[in-house]
Structure 1
Amino acid sequence: MAYVTSLFARKMVAAAGSDIDQRATLEAAGIDPDAPWDPKFMIPAETYYEMLEGMAEQIDVTKLPIHVGASMRCDEYGALGLAWKAAPTLMASCSRIERYARLWTDVVTYELREHPRGTLFILHRKGERRLGLRLSNEATLASAVSLSRQVCPVPFNPIGVFVQHKEPKSKAFHEAWFGCPVTFASDLDAVLISHEAMNRANILGDEGISRYLMSDLDRDLAKLEKLPSMVSDAKNAIAQALNEGAPRMADIAKGLGLSARSFHRRLSEHGMSFQTLTEETRRELAEGLLRDEQYSLAEVAFLTGFSEQSSFTRAFKRWLGTTPANYRKARI
């Protein structure tokens, strides 16, 4: 069964205000209204969607997910939120979410994808496109923009927002809040952020604090259920293929005796995308090679699938907030 943090449910109910019976709504979702807000307390995703759909029968929910996204604060996400704030750039912040979202939910995965105009921060959520899921997706996209505004040293708006479901009667409120065009009936759920905004230094970026928080998050991640053998085998295959450049999902799937479709589905079942798995493998391999002085930085770049050392340096800084050279110096 898929679960989401009760924090989102509480935020939705709070945003609805006195127009609904807040206590009864929370109790029906299995949440004690008098208990402290604990983001680690999870509720079934189906229960969450049903709660939202029940609220939609009582009030106009068109603006609700935007209000909820706007209300989210970095500190409410615990160590993950602090890691977002402490990351050196917005790109690094988004990379933290892409990597550690599994600590918060097994419903959603995130993907960073290059785009001619910037970087797409993509939300992947499985399931029937019922009203509750659609409202949740909108709130999640709004949350990403709200958290970005909290760390950006200058006013921040994305270039565009894309939503898979059909648009409401009017999207004027959405576009006014996001500060950019919002395209409904798209082929993905995503926020498009400019290269300039992604590479701009965060207000509270701190490399040392960032590394400390990430080590904590890595330990939490390690406590999760061990990776199934298929995923472990896939990581080994990716690592072996990297010296020939970035591997193709179809090639890795074929080596595992799977079709690309089946491989994608099985990764999704474990809250992963092929790109996320490849990035994770590259990072882990790079860290291991950098701890061995026999490999030059150029060789490490080559062995992790980069054609240029400069590209490797940029990627490594995005992963860990420091350069490969500084990382090696601190560990040898």
Structure 2
Amino acid sequence: MDAVTSLFVRKMVATAGSGVDAAALLQSVGLDPNAKADPKVMVLASAYYDLLERIAGEIDATQLPLRTGASMRCDDYGALGLAFKAAPTLFGSYSRVVRYARLWTSVVAYELEPDGVNTWFALHRPGARRLGLRLSNEATIASATAIAREVSQDGAFTPLEVHFTHPRPDIIVHHEAYFGCPVFFGSDRDAILISAESINRANKLGDEGITQFLQQHLDQELAQITHTKSLNERTRDVIARALSEGVPKMEDVARNLGMSVRSLHRRLANDGMTFRTLTEETRQELAEGLLCDERYSIAEVAFLTGFSEQSSFNRAFKRWAGDTPAKYRKAQNRPAAAP
């Protein structure tokens, strides 16, 4: 199940202040209001989004994610925060986040993407852009900015641009004031653009020896986490779910995965895969599996694998498997010969 660290939940509730019933909110997601914050304690992502939407129904939440993000400190993140602080440069700091984010969330992935001499630090969070998810994304980007300011030499880190995929709120002056740069909504990414100078600047407490020690510790923690699906596997899952409505477009699949088309294309290419090939392989695997189940007619299998006509499915399947769907089904369901 998709989950996030309870640290974010507690921070959001605390930042909301006296306008909400903090104890009731925490109890609603299974947290003890009197317990000490522990980043390793997780909360279901859907419950977290529900909680944020409850808060937004009780107070004006426009600035809530910005104030929450601004309150975050490296020490809040435990060993990961220390590794962020001890990295030699800001690029090294964000690289730690990319590698070890699974220690505090199973719903968000991070990426460093070069753009000329500059670099994008992007988060990828799948799902519909419901209010709770949007507030969470804003808080995540705000916290990424806050801890970058904490480790910088002069504490004055400023992104070149900030982008969000969700629609523009009525007021953005607070966003522009917090980030200190242009803020774009309705974008193709949730990310901050960082200058070459900023990302290569030495951190004020960078220490290579401490970094190596902390990374060994984090690698051990990471190895204990249950295997999560690769991007190829997650992309196949999205394609398979969408096929009954026709072959999905790459932009729709990318949106469902919480990333831009460009990022999806590049990451698949890094694995030697194209979206078209992945789609064809998914359709073939799904068709072969469905044909082995005689509860589905061949016409139904054609529909469930994205074909509007059975004749088109027959031609495609013969190209994939070298035989017609009917002959493939017969061969797969033929009783085994007696020994």
CA distance in 2, matches of 1:30, 1:102: 21
- Residue of structure 2 in register with 1:27 after alignment: 27
Specify whether residues 123 and 227 from structure 1 end up closer, same or farther in structure 2 by C-alpha distance, changes over 3 A only: closer
CA contact (8 A) 1:103 1:221 kept: yes
Aligned pairs for 1:49-68 within 5 A: 49-68=49-68
| Number of residue pairs aligned between Structure 1 and Structure 2 | 250
CA distance in 2, matches of 1:262, 1:70: 45
- Residue of structure 1 in register with 2:3 after alignment: 3
Specify whether residues 27 and 204 from structure 1 end up closer, same or farther in structure 2 by C-alpha distance, changes over 3 A only: same
Aligned pairs for 1:185-264 within 5 A: 185-226=186-227, 259-260=277-278
- Residue of structure 2 in register with 1:158 after alignment: 159
CA distance in 2, matches of 1:160, 1:152: 18
Gaps of 5+ in 1: 233-246, 265-332
Find the residue that maps to 2:222 and give its secondary structure.
helix
- Residue of structure 1 in register with 2:240 after alignment: none
Specify whether residues 186 and 249 from structure 1 end up closer, same or farther in structure 2 by C-alpha distance, changes over 3 A only: closer
Specify whether residues 21 and 89 from structure 1 end up closer, same or farther in structure 2 by C-alpha distance, changes over 3 A only: same
**Aligned residue identity for 1:198:** I
- Residue of structure 2 in register with 1:82 after alignment: 82
Gaps of 5+ in 2: 234-264, 283-339
Deviations 1:254-310 (A, max 9, x none): 67999346999xxxxxxxxxxxxxxxxxxxxxxxxxxxxxxxxxxxxxxxxxxxxxx
CA contact (8 A) 2:90 2:200 kept: yes
CA contact (8 A) 1:87 1:205 kept: yes
Aligned pairs for 1:1-332 within 5 A: 1-116=1-116, 118-154=118-154, 155-226=156-227, 259-260=277-278
CA contact (8 A) 2:119 2:193 kept: yes
Find the residue that maps to 2:35 and give its secondary structure.
coil
Find the residue that maps to 2:192 and give its secondary structure.
strand
CA distance in 1, matches of 2:195, 2:90: 11
CA distance in 2, matches of 1:92, 1:263: 37
Find the residue that maps to 1:259 and give its secondary structure.
helix
TM-score (ref. length: structure 2): 0.69
CA distance in 2, matches of 1:83, 1:77: 9
TM-score (ref. length: structure 1): 0.71
**Aligned residue identity for 1:62:** T
CA distance in 1, matches of 2:127, 2:230: 25
Deviations 1:71-118 (A, max 9, x none): 001001000000000000000000000011011110100000001351
Specify whether residues 81 and 172 from structure 1 end up closer, same or farther in structure 2 by C-alpha distance, changes over 3 A only: same
Question: Using CA pairs below 8 Å that are at least 6 residues apart, which structure has the higher relative contact order?
Answer: 1
Specify whether residues 263 and 209 from structure 1 end up closer, same or farther in structure 2 by C-alpha distance, changes over 3 A only: farther
Find the residue that maps to 1:156 and give its secondary structure.
coil
CA contact (8 A) 1:250 1:259 kept: no
CA distance in 2, matches of 1:182, 1:230: 29
The two structures, once aligned, show a CA RMSD in angstroms of 2.6
Q: How far off its partner does 1:225 sit?
A: 2.2
Identify the range of structure 1 (116-125 vs 86-95) with the bigger mean alpha-carbon deviation: 116-125
CA contact (8 A) 2:268 2:275 kept: no
Specify whether residues 187 and 53 from structure 1 end up closer, same or farther in structure 2 by C-alpha distance, changes over 3 A only: same
Specify whether residues 132 and 199 from structure 1 end up closer, same or farther in structure 2 by C-alpha distance, changes over 3 A only: same
**Aligned residue identity for 2:277:** S
CA contact (8 A) 1:250 1:260 kept: no
CA distance in 1, matches of 2:280, 2:85: 37
CA distance in 1, matches of 2:105, 2:137: 13
Specify whether residues 197 and 228 from structure 1 end up closer, same or farther in structure 2 by C-alpha distance, changes over 3 A only: closer
Q: How far off its partner does 1:250 sit?
A: 5.2
Find the residue that maps to 1:4 and give its secondary structure.
strand
Q: How far off its partner does 1:252 sit?
A: 6.7
Find the residue that maps to 1:99 and give its secondary structure.
helix
CA distance in 1, matches of 2:205, 2:52: 35
Greater Rg over alpha carbons, structure: 2
Deviations 1:31-72 (A, max 9, x none): 110111111111100100000001111111000000000000
CA distance in 2, matches of 1:186, 1:229: 25
CA distance in 2, matches of 1:263, 1:112: 29
Specify whether residues 80 and 252 from structure 1 end up closer, same or farther in structure 2 by C-alpha distance, changes over 3 A only: closer
Specify whether residues 262 and 150 from structure 1 end up closer, same or farther in structure 2 by C-alpha distance, changes over 3 A only: farther
Find the residue that maps to 2:213 and give its secondary structure.
helix
CA contact (8 A) 2:72 2:147 kept: yes
CA distance in 2, matches of 1:64, 1:156: 21
